[in-house]
A = this chain, B = another copy of it.
Amino acid sequence: MKLFFSLLVTTIISTFSQAQQKTIQERLGYAKETKLLIIHADDIGVAHAENSATFKAMQSGVVNSGSIMVPCPWFSEVVAYVKENPKADLGLHLTLTSEWKHYKWGPVTPASAVPGLINKNGFFYSSADSVVMFASPSEVEQEIRNQVKKSIQMGIDPTHLDAHMGTALSSPGFMKAYIKVGKEFNIPVMLGPQLERMFGVKIDSLVTPSMVLIDNIITAMPGDFKNTMKNYYTSVLNGLKPGLNCLLIHVAYDNDEMKAVSIDHPDWGSAWRQEDFDFFTSDACRELLKKNNIVLVTWREIKDKLYRSGQ
């Protein structure tokens, strides 16, 4: 009997230890050397030009995941798309800012409950810095929770949560709220070691072993745009490392609407987004994925394998 317990304990410890040591690829059932990639379109819901281009790139290109801005004017168009395409891998791009010059939105929570989230005109602030300065973690938590609730109420089953402009990751208090709400609804939240470098927030103490960490969160910066997006993404795909990679892109058409949305803001602007659309619907991109043995994976697969099963 003593031996049985000893064996049992050893087995439990060993299994736990293996789970800790297993790479995320292995936890998902892939070989250790697999280069897993989520090609993830941010900002869905912000504008019709963003929605229509992103849906097109998901249907005829290689974009296989994306996230939705619930407080934005074109959110209802996304709800209609989800009804027609219930298997689409769509999470929520939790939104606490309204960054464009002439096109604005505010919280889904009644303004009186989250005064620290809104400026004098009733809109979100335009920068993450202002949100950190004026909003409390409890206001952020309420607004994040209400965005999740509203999406579910309107028929969306979010496959993951992430943070528009990183705002919900910009302070330890905000990040705790972000992780807490993800746990509450059993939805994976996007987290990865780079976030420490990007936002200066230590994540170690906030992360539990069962949470999925993205090994490499990759996204273009203004300097990459100057050198053409095709060059940047070609280099990214040729240099991809084994592990779970998430490439954050922004897909829209460079048309009148999107030009007006992004007026006076060429970085992350309409031409940038058109280049993202062009690349991720091109044969060149498909060939690069194939040549580099890149395996596309979705947040839905991660959620189904590692969250719903209780692993």
Name A residues whose Cβ lies closer than 8 Å to a Cβ of B.
47-49, 52, 73-77, 79-80, 101-105, 108, 110-113, 120-123, 150, 153-154, 253, 255-257, 260-261
Q: A112 CA to B74 CA in the complex, in Å?
A: 23
Docked complex Cα distance between A43 and B253 (Å): 25
Known: A110-B111, A150-B121. A103 touches B73 (CB 8 A): yes
- Is the beta-carbon distance between A48 and B256 smaller than 8 angstroms? yes
Contact status A48-B260, CB under 8 Å: yes
Alpha-carbon distance between A49 and B103 when the two chains are bound, in angstroms = 13
- Choose among B49, B79, B102, B120 the residue that contacts A80 (Cβ–Cβ < 8 A): B102
- Supposing A102-B80, A153-B120, A154-B121 touch, asked if A256 and B52 sit within 8 A by C-beta, the answer is yes
Contacts of A260 in B (CB 8 A): 48, 52, 77
Are A101 and B76 within 8 A (Cβ)?
yes
A48-B256, A48-B260, A103-B73 in contact; A108/B122 too (CB < 8 A)? yes
Closest to A261 in B: B48
Instruction: Count this chain's copies in the assembly.
Output: 2
Q: How far is the CA of A79 from the CA of B121 in the complex (A)?
A: 12
Nearest-neighbor residue (CB-CB) of A98 within chain B:
B76
Contact indicator B101/A122 (Cβ below 8 Å):
no
Report 18 cross-chain contacts, Cβ distance below 8 Å, ordered by A residue: A47-B257, A48-B256, A48-B260, A49-B257, A52-B256, A52-B260, A73-B73, A73-B104, A73-B105, A75-B104, A76-B102, A76-B121, A76-B123, A77-B103, A79-B102, A111-B111, A121-B153, A253-B256
Q: B120 and A103: CB pair below 8 A? A: no
Q: Give chain B nearest CB distance to A209 CB in angstroms.
A: 38
| The 3 residue pairs across chains A and B that have the minimum distance between CB atoms | A77-B102, A73-B73, A257-B257
Residues of B within 8 A of A110 (CB): 110-112
Q: How far in angstroms is the closest Cβ of chain B from A284?
A: 26
Residues on B with beta carbons closer than 8 Å to the beta carbon of A261: 48
Bound together, the chains give a CA A118 to CA B255 distance in angstroms of 32
Assembled-state Cα–Cα distance A206/B76 (Å): 39
Residue in B47, B120, B123, B255 whose CB lies within 8 Å of A255: B255
Complex CA distance for A204 and B128, rounded to whole angstroms: 53
